[in-house]
Structure 1
């Protein structure tokens, strides 16, 4: 069964704001990795991006790829980039907060 997608192909800024809000609820401090990861996964599941944690992004030959393969690759690449930015932001914020203690 297919799930209808947003015609724009991306989440609204309200959803992105919610994603960052949810991720900010638990700040990684070195002792709470499981809680932090659970929060990250919950937020990513809400945004339909959780798959990037488990599914490897495999390079494709753009010359030989079908339009569907190319679209899937680009979506995966963009989703993986967003997830990496959010997780990096969380880690940097945690390191910064630890210097204030």
Structure 2
């Protein structure tokens, strides 16, 4: 009976913090802990073996049946701890396929975040160029990072935009900082 209570208490970690697309690494770490405790970690680490032939040994058929049953249990657990959008995307996959798909998606999101942050931090307004389109482009990058789950605070976002301006704006910086102007990014336009 105690093992059952431990299982339920560990599973509650996953239920409390459902996968939403932005918290994959934390969710995956918790999933691995739960599955390790349940002795089902192998289900997400190995693809489903081929079904044994009808003349296979009883041990082979039992091993396949256990893997299949564990795969169903783990797949249901994974789906139950995802938000509805992710459930719809993964409901026709087995546990191993879900993990592989989520890892691939996580890698793509990581690359997208890297590309956007690189573009944001490399933005520099050329001397004599209009400020409006430059700031709008930077706001777009900042909003994109936020949508990926990496929002910049208002102060940091403002600092990044101000640092992208050429030295000819030094009087504006001085006035901005001396008067403790508190503007949102669109208000900087």
Work out whether the TM-score is over 0.5.
Answer: yes
Which of 46, 56, 68 is 2:59 aligned to? 68
Kindly indicate which of the two structures has a greater share of residues assigned to helix: 2
The match for 1:48 is 39
- Answer with 1 or 2: which has the greater Rg: 2
- Cα gap change, 1:15/1:68 in structure 2, threshold over 3 Å: closer, same or farther? farther
Show structure 2 runs of 5+ residues with no match: 86-189
**Structure 2: distance between partners of 1:85 and 1:41:** 15
- Alignment length (residue pairs): 83
Q: Higher relative contact order by CA 8 Å / sep ≥ 6: 1 or 2?
A: 1
TM-score normalized with structure 2 length: 0.40
Ranges of 4+ aligned residues in structure 1 off by more than 3 Å: 12-16
- Cα gap change, 1:52/1:34 in structure 2, threshold over 3 Å: closer, same or farther? same
Q: Can you list the C-alpha shifts for 1:15-49, whole angstroms capped at 9, x where unaligned? A: 55234313224222222110000000100000000
1:81 paired to 2:76: no
Aligned-CA RMSD value: 2.0
